[in-house]
């Protein structure tokens, strides 16, 4: 009935429908679809209906539009916030974070929270606490991670957009699998804090999964901030930048090979070649890369070291809060392995890794002086079958005994733990390390009706360019 959230807000403003009616309609859709999707972890329907009745929405761009938050971060005061973890099954947030406060100030009404893997560590959404999220197009497949629940709700038509976050592809990967628009903004673009200001050292960014470019543009314009208390400060984009500039001829670097040396499916190659051919037809220059600007394996190893250290620090804080040590019973085996590996990494190693990320940013800055955008597949394959990345019993046994290994051996085991799933989704992580904006666009479907997105990455601060490109694809009916 409604094209997108902008359409919904206009219907409310014009009096065609009330916020309460909109909320009731969305609840009805959610209750109809969620049994087959398993996308929702908790709801606050009664509170949402009361807010819809009593809220003041005048002048708010998304007045009365229902939304679901991701059950990882995105904390709303008083509401359950599990992070997909059995340890936090009954935890309620003590305060709302700045991202959620901003959503509320824009007029959104929060209906509940969406399914995610434990602490967002995987590219599939399946936790021991909440179970697996089914792909709406094929329920034998996973909707992707870590914003899989959010993607499933948007793709199934329950909501036109949903809160999501991206620390290594967690917006773009499920966007690709579900045929959605998935923008990861530039580091520093979206409000952070007050409890955490540098999620995964700035690799993790909140935003949303959407269906239209105009929703994506409006949301970005309203959300963007020059946040001086943040460690990552970014100048705002102007309204003209986002809505009025015309797209000039571009130099497009085309990446076909996996940055970690894995196989890229024929379907993923077809998707990106189709996009490249369209851009070339529209007057843009395509240059096929024979060498990638960054060493993908080296970059991923640095990513896993960061993840290990940050996870160890997180659990140290949890231990101090609850007054006891963590045990294997508190978490899934993959989380345990990451946590324990972080205990043995020297501070000097971690410091050198962060310096390495700065060099990656410099290299990509230089790269974008020659090329306006980098075009690649978003993922190497369509959405995986449930259980496709399950670990062998032998590997799981080693992970349970992580403390028996030295630091190098531990990082080798972390690599083995993610190796299969990384081959499936190797294209997204580098933009998290460098802080660049990157978007997945829904331009291709296989003969079986499964979606594969293409990824467009630009220089820091150039979301306007990504959205111009997205709008070109959308206006020329290239979205599938």
Does the predicted TM-score (pTM) go above 0.85? Answer: yes
| DSSP-H helix ranges across 266-295 | 266-281
What is d(CA 260, CA 336) in angstroms, rounded to the nearest whole number?
25
What pLDDT is recorded for position 469? Answer: 98
- Is 70 designated active site? yes
Q: Is residue 297 part of a domain?
A: no
Q: Is residue 187 part of a domain?
A: yes
H or E element, residue 151: helix 148-155
Q: Is residue 142 part of a domain?
A: yes
Q: Is residue 236 part of a domain?
A: yes
Closest C-alpha among 210, 234, 213 to residue 224 = 234
pLDDT for residue 126 is more than 90: yes
- Is 47 designated active site? no
What pLDDT is recorded for position 238? Answer: 97
Report pLDDT digits (tens) over 201-214. Answer: 999 999 999 999 99
Catalytic pick among 20, 60, 70, 211: 70
Report pLDDT digits (tens) over 346-392. Answer: 999 999 999 999 999 999 999 999 999 999 999 999 999 999 999 99
Report pLDDT digits (tens) over 55-79. Answer: 999 999 999 999 999 999 999 999 9
Query: Residue 103 belongs to a domain with what CATH number?
Result: 3.90.1300.10
Q: Is residue 157 part of a domain?
A: yes
Average pLDDT over residues 226-238: 96
Catalytic pick among 85, 125, 146, 165: 146
What does the mean pLDDT of the chain come to? 97
Q: Is residue 280 part of a domain?
A: no
Average pLDDT over residues 436-460: 98
The tokens describing 142, both together, are 């996973």
% residues pLDDT > 70 (the chain) = 100
Q: Is residue 150 part of a domain?
A: yes
Report pLDDT digits (tens) over 269-289. Answer: 999 999 999 999 999 999 999
What pLDDT is recorded for position 1? Answer: 80
Q: How many domains does the chain have?
A: 1
DSSP 231-270: SS--PPPPHHHHHTPPPPP-EEEE--S-TTS----HHHHH
Q: Could you list the residue range(s) of the whole structural domain that residue 224 is in? A: 5-248
Q: Is residue 306 part of a domain?
A: no
**Dmax of the chain from CA atoms?**
65
What pLDDT is recorded for position 276? Answer: 98
365-to-34, 191, 368, 409, 459 alpha-carbon distances in Å: 43, 24, 5, 34, 6
Catalytic pick among 83, 85, 170, 176: 170
């Amino acid at each position: 009935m409604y094209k997108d959230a902008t359409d919904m807000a206009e219907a409310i403003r014009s009096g065609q429908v009330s916020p309460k009616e909109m909320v009731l309609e969305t609840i009805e859709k959610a209750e109809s679809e969620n049994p087959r999707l398993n996308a929702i972890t908790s709801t606050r329907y009664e509170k949402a209906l009361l807010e819809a009745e009593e809220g003041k929405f005048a002048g708010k761009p998304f007045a009365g539009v229902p939304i679901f938050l991701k059950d990882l971060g995105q904390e709303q005061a008083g509401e359950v916030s599990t992070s997909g973890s059995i340890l936090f099954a009954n935890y309620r947030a003590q305060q709302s974070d700045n991202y959620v406060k901003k959503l509320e100030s824009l007029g959104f009404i929060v209906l509940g929270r969406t399914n995610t893997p434990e602490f967002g560590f995987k590219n599939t959404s399946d936790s021991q606490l909440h179970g697996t999220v089914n792909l709406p197009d094929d329920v034998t497949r996973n909707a992707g991670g870590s914003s899989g629940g959010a993607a499933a709700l948007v793709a199934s038509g329950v909501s036109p957009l949903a809160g999501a976050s991206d620390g290594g592809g967690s917006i773009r990967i499920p966007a690709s699998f579900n045929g959605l628009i998935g923008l990861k903004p530039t580091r520093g673009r979206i409000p952070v804090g007050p409890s955490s200001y540098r999620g995964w050292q700035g690799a993790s960014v909140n935003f949303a999964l959407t269906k239209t470019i105009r929703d994506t543009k409006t949301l970005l314009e309203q959300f963007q901030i020059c946040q001086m208390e943040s460690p990552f400060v970014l100048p705002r984009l102007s309204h003209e930048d986002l809505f009025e500039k015309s797209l000039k001829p571009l130099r497009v670097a085309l990446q076909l090979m996996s940055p970690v040396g894995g196989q890229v499916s024929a379907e993923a190659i077809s998707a990106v070649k189709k996009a490249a051919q369209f851009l070339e037809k529209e007057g843009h220059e395509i240059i096929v890369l024979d060498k990638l600007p960054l060493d993908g394996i080296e970059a991923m190893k640095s990513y896993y070291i960061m993840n290990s250290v940050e996870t160890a620090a997180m659990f140290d804080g949890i231990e101090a809060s609850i007054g006891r040590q963590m045990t294997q019973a508190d978490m899934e085996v993959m989380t345990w392995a990451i946590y324990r590996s972080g205990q043995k990494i020297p501070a000097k190693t971690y410091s050198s890794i962060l310096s390495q990320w700065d060099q990656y940013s410099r290299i990509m800055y230089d790269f974008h002086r020659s090329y306006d955008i980098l075009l690649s597949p978003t993922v190497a394959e369509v959405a995986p079958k449930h259980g496709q990345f399950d670990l062998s019993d032998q590997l799981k046994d080693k992970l349970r005994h992580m403390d028996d290994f030295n630091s190098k051996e531990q990082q080798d085991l972390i690599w083995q733990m993610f190796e299969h799933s990384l081959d499936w989704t190797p294209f997204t992580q580098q933009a998290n390390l460098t802080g660049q904006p990157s978007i997945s666009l829904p331009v291709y479907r296989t003969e079986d009706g499964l979606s594969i997105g293409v990824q467009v990455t630009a220089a820091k601060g150039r979301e306007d360019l990504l959205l111009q490109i997205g709008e070109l694809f959308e206006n020329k009916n290239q979205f599938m």
